[in-house]
Amino acid sequence: MKNALDFNLSSTYLEPNGFIQRFTSAYMFIESNKYPDIYDENIGGQCFGCGSGGETSSCKKNKTSARRCGLFFVFNTMTGNSVIRRRFDGSSTEMQKLIGDTDDEGHGWGTDFVVDFLFGYTGYEYREITDAALFESEIKASIDAGKPVIARVKQGSTQTFATTHQKSPPFHLITGYYGDALTIQDHVYYEVWNDPSTLKTEQPPAYEDLEALYIFGEKTARRYTLLDGMKNIRRVLEYTINEGLWDEYLQKLGLGEDGLDKVGPEELKSRAKNLAAANIYMYNFCSFGGAFGVEKLPGHYLHQELFDPNLQEYWDDINKNWIICDTGHSTGTLNWHKIWEMEDSEKLAKICTDLCAALAKAKAADQRLLKIVNEVIEILELSPEQKVEFFRNKEAARQENEARLKALLQAMDNKTPRAETKINLETMKRNADFFDLNYENGLMIIKSPPENRQVSCMLTPQRFAAPLNIKLRAKTDRDNIRVIFGYGLLILNWECNQSELRIHDPEDSAQSGYKGCGAVPVDEFMDIEWIFGREFMAVRVNGELRHIGDNYCYIEKFKDPDFTMDSPVAPCTVFGSTLTVESLTVTEF
């Protein structure tokens, strides 16, 4: 006897063998009968860069995989898993134990809590089968009914698996049977990362390898909603903050009594290794931020609830905190520089200082996330009538504040500046030598190489202090007109979405996206103004106000009369675009 489902959903490298990934694929397959948009090749294509199965399987080419990835982000986040942080010494936290991110659980993210929540959140009955005598009949019955089966395997079994930190793949998705053999969801993986010659396919388990089955039942009323998911997130964030997990990193990686400058080479190597193991818990923000920014499936009940237009500003605020991922990049510094071999104490001290500054920003980002999550929970707990009143008052307050900020901008325009500096473009300094730079007829032409992800920048020799107005007259041949000030970044014609204006806060790099106001024509000079007031930030293009707001860290810092913010100004571009600059003027107030 044999039967196999027409199952064509590939897995990805994002926790591929865990329960949440296997559940996502099974759910998507079952739901496709009711929501055919799941498989519509004309919808989607958003890629989150995990590199699954090589370029031929990337989400931009396989749009169904992109949507499966987006659903995984939602499920991963609603359980609280995507905001878990690791202890510095690697010992399991209570939140890791709750979700199953431990050695004992095979890092399978499939505890009773996760299983029950996901079936209840999506509105499915389910059965857990642990009697081995029933495994064959239960699998065949489910496959014959058109439903794949999630199987937990015994730890220590001898199958081929995809991730080196797992003793064996804790979960498989069974998609068919053939006599005594099973077929599973295909998953390809590199034995050596990104080496095509080592590409392998995961092998199915045997019946004797199975420990438990999770059988999808009938669709029923949901037992958990977005509110319950947000409470799961809050529980994990509160634990991280209350347990001082970020403080452990700051203590072990700083310059205090137990800092990096006080220990020997072996301890330096140990701490660098610990931090490398913790990086994935910072990159988790890709999943968390992605959950609130994925492409929407029209009409799907989970997305209808999640993407209530009234909640969009909160999801936008969440996606300002990619600094957590950036901290993951920063922490790689310890290993890149082989700090255990470093004899230059001043260089080590600078690395520690920079690293702790990045970690402090990530800690502050987690605190901001908790504040946002609490605000959303308060809204979701309101009655329908109370929600109407809440959002009516909120819109009135928004309009009043916008009028106030525009008045401040007008006052700044009318104010006599402290100084106005027109930059001599030929005195500006490169940030690197990998891009082409030419001067023609008074124009500065920056041509970025398409293969290099690093921005091609020209920096002013002077530093300028806010409040100020950066006035750039420039054009692009394609996309990516960028300006850097401090840790901040302004992007027009962003390569991922030209209509979205992108702004990074100059103080903490928090990222914001503003839809519908970021596009400019190509091959046409634009007068661009990036304005930093003490109480507002604004962007104008050819005199048109594209954005004005006050939800920025640097504005909060300006409440301290001693705070200052100064930096060079750097027009730049990236990804093969050419930026032509006619003039750059900085006006300080």
Kindly tell me if the per-residue pLDDT of 166 is higher than 60: no
pLDDT tens per residue, range 483-527: 999 999 999 999 988 999 999 999 988 889 998 999 999 999 999
Among 112, 108, 92, which residue's Cα sits nearest to residue 162?
A: 108
Q: Helix 323-331 vs helix 265-278: angle between axes, to the nearest 10 degrees?
A: 150
pLDDT for res 162: 42
Residue reference for tokens 């809440």: 390
pLDDT tens per residue, range 253-278: 887 888 887 888 888 888 888 887 78
The answer to whether residues 128 and 115 touch, using CB atoms and an 8 Å cutoff, is yes
Mind giving me the DSSP string for 361-399? HHHHHHHHHHHHHHHHHHHHTS-HHHHHHHHHHHHHHHH
pLDDT for res 160: 43
Mind giving me the DSSP string for 223-260? S--HHHHHHHHHHHHHHHHHTTHHHHHHHHHSSSTTSG
pLDDT tens per residue, range 187-221: 665 565 556 676 677 789 999 999 999 999 999 99
Return the structure tokens found at 583.
């003039």
The answer to whether residues 471 and 527 touch, using CB atoms and an 8 Å cutoff, is yes
Kindly tell me if the per-residue pLDDT of 54 is higher than 50: no
pLDDT for res 55: 46
Return the structure tokens found at 551.
């939800």
Structural domains of the chain, with CATH: 2-219 (3.90.70), 226-279+305-381 (no CATH), 419-588 (2.60.120.200)
pLDDT for res 494: 95
298 or 312: which leads in pLDDT: 312
List Cα–Cα distances, 270 to 17, 330, 360, in angstroms.
Answer: 28, 17, 21
Over pLDDT 70: what percentage of the chain? 88
pLDDT for res 70: 82
Grade residue 244 by pLDDT with cuts at 50, 70 and 90: very high
Q: Helix 226-242 vs helix 63-78: angle between axes, to the nearest 10 degrees?
A: 60
Question: What is the overall mean pLDDT for the chain?
Answer: 88
Taking residue 372's Cβ as centre, other Cβ atoms within 10 Å add up to 21
CA distance 272 to 260: 10
Over pLDDT 90: what percentage of the chain? 62
Kindly tell me if the per-residue pLDDT of 62 is higher than 70: no
Mind giving me the DSSP string for 265-326? HHHHHHHHHHHHHHTHHHHTHHHHHHHTTSPP-TT-HHHHHHT-GGGHHHHHHHTT-THHHH
List Cα–Cα distances, 350 to 124, 269, 307, 353, in angstroms.
Answer: 54, 18, 43, 5
pLDDT for res 64: 65
Grade residue 2 by pLDDT with cuts at 50, 70 and 90: confident
The DSSP call for residue 522 is: T
CA distance 6 to 93: 40
CA distance 350 to 566: 20
Grade residue 326 by pLDDT with cuts at 50, 70 and 90: confident
pLDDT tens per residue, range 531-580: 999 999 999 999 999 999 999 999 999 999 999 999 999 999 999 999 99
The answer to whether residues 537 and 503 touch, using CB atoms and an 8 Å cutoff, is yes
CA distance 31 to 37: 10
Helix (H) or strand (E) holding 413: helix 384-413
The backbone torsions φ and ψ at residue 49, rounded to the nearest 5 degrees and listed phi first, read 80, 25
Kindly tell me if the per-residue pLDDT of 157 is higher than 70: no
The DSSP call for residue 541 is: E
Tell me which of 26-30, 67-71, 400-404, 575-579 is least confident: 67-71
List Cα–Cα distances, 56 to 10, 49, 66, 136, in angstroms.
Answer: 12, 13, 13, 35
36 or 118: which leads in pLDDT: 118
Average pLDDT over residues 374-380: 98
